[in-house]
A and B are shown apart, each in its own frame.
Chain A
Amino acid sequence: MFYIHHTVCISPQISFPEIDLDQLIHCDENKLYAQKVAYSDIPAAMLRRMGKAVKLGVAASTPLFKLYDKLDGIIIGTANGGMEDCIKFLNQLIYYEEGVLTPTNFVQSTSNAIASQLGFFSKNKGYNITHVHRGLAFENAVLDVGMLLADNPDSNYLLGGIDEISDYNFNIDYLCGYIKKETINNNDLYNSKSVGSIAGEGVAMFIINNNQIGAISKFRALQTIHTTDEMELGILFKKFLIDNLLQNETVDLFLSGENGDIRYKKYYEYFESMMTKDVVIARYKHMSGEFQTASAFALWVSNYIFQTQHIPIHMFKKDIFKKKDINNIVIYNNYQGFQHSFMLLSKI
């Protein structure tokens, strides 16, 4: 579909500006907050008005804007955009009984605030869009970039996935049963026998084009579906691999979006069982936490693994205990048990 050239990720782990994934950063009260970063490139007056998601988006994109001064478009996946500002505004309107309110939180709360601020910040008048389809928001952004490059082959695009933890969406997710009732540590996430996961947040940004030269990886295929039917998923996954892998090719690493929720473990175990014995199985949600666009973190970490040929030890679910190159990665993610995605990428 396209090539990935540069990646930036601000996550709960040490990923920006330096990367050290061997040291696992732990969660706090079932929340994995993104690491605080210096926003030295954002003017102070602008910074004050920005919500966390917008700040994270701008901070992660600024290094890429410096590398590519002429991008052809900005494609963002975010389920909620600025959730913090959104509920702040809602609380004000309840508290002041629809009295005189300031528009700042309202303007910052719209889901498209991140992509539009990035357009504004980089003076980019090209294609600008925000996909918000919950657990497949980032996947739809990926599909969008793929189509853009099919139509405009010489272009460069900024692709990003981003969501934030606010107290408000944490409360709502908790009430829905998507956050664990008991407090757990993230290094214990996969041993949990209860429902729910731990909350996460972060941003991953990618420069995407059709140019193989200098690329880190090739994004080869994407498949999404809404279903709870394991059989249907199994058939689709087999077809995905047959359609997209060459005859003598194999998957080297299965990167699983397992999130410690006992209800969804069956899906991950089912796909793992379909992998041959020499496929490494690794997981990432103990690093990112669970959120709608966590698959953007998975795409980022896959590119890190391609570049370094190193998998941090805490990521292994199944090590094959022999040295082998990681050339092909399949990422499987599942959000709330019914939004599924498979992504296939290869090292360049």
Chain B
Amino acid sequence: MAKVYVTGLGIITALGDSLYSNREGLQNGRCGIGSLDYFPTKYAESLLFGEIKLSNNQLKEILKVNDLGVSRTSLLALHAFNQAICDAELNDKDLASRDTALIVANTVGGMCLTNELYQDANQRHFGSEYTSSYDCGSVGIFLQARFGIRGIVNTINTACSSSANAIMYGVRLIKNGHAKKVIIGGTDSLAKFTINGFNSLQILSPGLCAPFDNNRNGLNLAEGAAFLVLEAESNFVNQKVYAEVIGYANANDAFHPSTLSENGDGPFLAMEKALKQANLEPSDIDFINTHGTGTENNDEVESKAMIKLFKDKIPAFTSTKSNIGHTLGASGAIEAVYCILNLLHQEIYPSLNFKNSITSTGLIPQQFYYKTTLKNVMSNSFGFGGNCSSLIFTKV
């Protein structure tokens, strides 16, 4: 089967609207989480968020979007999509080829438009401009129409592992001969729906999230988007290549709708199966970008699963959610981009806000920036409903 390479990257997060600003932020241990300037919610004063400091109108202006009914989720996606296709030098012909697929992951869709959705869902007299923009599919449909994509188009929602599964689907499309190039991305914007949902589950931290710290008390919700261009090996004409997607797996924890099982069967199986797929041993993994949300449940369970798999040789690991917060459906794609930055520059970025290790597991994330030799890096994404996925990228 063809090898699948990453040839283009695009990203927008609370750390910045480019690959450059995101790397600079990670290198310097910068935190993009803070108070809200744009998104209106009752929790603006009491909770911290990873907000992108651009209004919808600013985004529309930068992106030259004049159409009606484009949600913030779609605008963030478009920003990262533009960067990724530009980076991979895809032209209009590439985009319109029946061999170019588009896979988008998100969990919020147009539900960030709380008042409009409330109005449109509860009466039948007059509709807002957003009536076709609420579902998760609306983002991919917007990009498909804007760029005239003719190949396979899909949207995946497996909660917080959505975009890891989108990458996996994209790789498999290429390996199975259904596409030669795949543009895959994840996007989510802040929404009252998710803020209140996570708040009702009591897993939002009032302060900065502290992944893998013994006193961690929840996550910070955030927004962002990242896109990657994947291409089959045979497709290259002297072009830059960032990394190979070598391992990928999806497993279900089959335990509880919003909590991981005590021993982390789902996370363990996802990591183990990804290694098997990549034909690697646990000792081959040099670094893990963990799911590391900063919730009591996730970090302890993820630690246990890592210990079970890697025994006493736990690879270096961090959680970039300490820099940008939890971007839900976008997190898998954003963290894939970060893993590729790790590989490309042979460097590790510090995990923030860690003081003491979790009593039961004792794992300590990397807290300082350093250069090192990295060959294989793993990215974990676990979602509600027990949807666990792991990806492995390797240096080329």
Interface residues of A (CB under 8 A from B): 74, 79-81, 86-87, 89-91, 93-94, 97-98, 100-103, 106-108, 110-113, 115-117, 119-120, 122-134, 136-137, 140, 143-144, 146-147, 150-151, 168-169, 171-172, 174-176, 224-227
Contact = CB atoms under 8 A, between A and B. Distances in A.
B39 interface: no
B192 interface: yes
B132 interface: yes
Contact of B154 (A116, A140, A176): A140
A147 B127 contact: no
A207 to B, nearest CB: 18
Interface string B176-219: 10100000000000001101110111000000000000000000
Contact of A129 (B197, B199, B201, B250): B250
Contacts of B156: 129-132
Nearest to B172: A147
A262 B140 CA distance: 26
Contact of A120 (B169, B251, B256): B256
B154 A131 contact: yes
28 contacts: A79-B135, A81-B157, A87-B122, A93-B114, A93-B193, A97-B42, A101-B200, A103-B200, A103-B258, A106-B193, A107-B197, A110-B384, A113-B257, A115-B158, A116-B384, A120-B256, A120-B257, A125-B251, A125-B269, A128-B250, A128-B387, A132-B157, A134-B135, A134-B155, A140-B154, A144-B169, A175-B120, A226-B150
A108 B137 CA distance: 19
B150 A225 contact: yes
A169 to B, nearest CB: 8
B310 interface: no
Contacts of A132: 135-137, 155-157
B68 interface: no
A312 B36 CA distance: 59
Contact of A106 (B117, B196, B255): B196
B252 A126 contact: yes
Given A111-B107, A112-B159, A143-B152, 20 more contacts: A89-B196, A93-B114, A98-B41, A98-B42, A107-B258, A110-B157, A113-B257, A113-B385, A119-B252, A120-B254, A125-B266, A128-B252, A130-B157, A132-B136, A136-B154, A143-B178, A146-B176, A150-B176, A176-B127, A176-B131
A102 B200 contact: yes
Given A133-B137, A168-B122, A128 B158 contact: yes
B235 to A, nearest CB: 19
B386 A98 contact: no
A116 B159 CA distance: 10
B387 A111 contact: no
Nearest to A106: B197
Nearest to A236: B98
Contacts of B396: none
A112 B141 contact: no
Interface in B94-148: 107, 111, 114-115, 117-118, 120-124, 126-127, 131-132, 134-138, 140-141, 144-145
Q: Which of A125, A140, A227 has the most CB of B within 10 A?
A: A125
A110 B266 contact: no
Given A107-B384, A128-B387, A168-B122, A112 B158 contact: yes
**Chain B interface extent, by class:** 35 or more
A111 B123 CA distance: 23
Given A89-B193, A151-B172, A171 B135 contact: no
B51 interface: no
Contact of B386 (A108, A119, A140, A147): A119
B231 interface: no
A172 B150 contact: no
Contacts of B178: 143, 147
Contacts of B255: 120
Contacts, number: 194
A178 B159 CA distance: 28
Contacts of A143: 152, 178
B43 to A, nearest CB: 7
A79 B137 contact: yes
A174 B124 contact: yes
A183 to B, nearest CB: 13
Contacts of B43: 98
B121 A87 contact: yes
A111 B169 contact: no
A172 B120 contact: yes
Contacts of A136: 153-154
Contacts of A101: 196-197, 199-200
Contact of A133 (B154, B199, B201): B154
B163 interface: no
A116 B192 CA distance: 24
Contacts of A133: 137, 140, 153-155
A150 B42 CA distance: 50
B2 interface: no
A174 B123 CA distance: 10
Contacts of A144: 169
A89 B140 CA distance: 25
B123 A171 contact: yes
A311 to B, nearest CB: 32
Contacts of A227: 150
A129 B122 contact: no
Contact of B122 (A108, A130, A171): A171
A277 to B, nearest CB: 31
B300 interface: no
A125 B254 contact: yes
B173 interface: yes
A16 to B, nearest CB: 25
Q: Which of B150, B200, B383 has the most CB of A within 10 A?
A: B200
Nearest to B1: A151
B98 to A, nearest CB: 8
A127 B277 CA distance: 14
Nearest to B141: A134
Contacts of B201: 103, 106-107
A175 B124 contact: yes
B165 interface: yes
B223 interface: no
A108 B135 CA distance: 16
Contact of B157 (A74, A111, A169): A111
A288 to B, nearest CB: 19
B253 interface: yes
**Which 8 A-B pairs give the minimum distances between C-beta atoms?**
A116-B385, A175-B127, A134-B137, A106-B197, A168-B121, A128-B252, A98-B42, A119-B252
B149 interface: yes
A91 B157 CA distance: 22
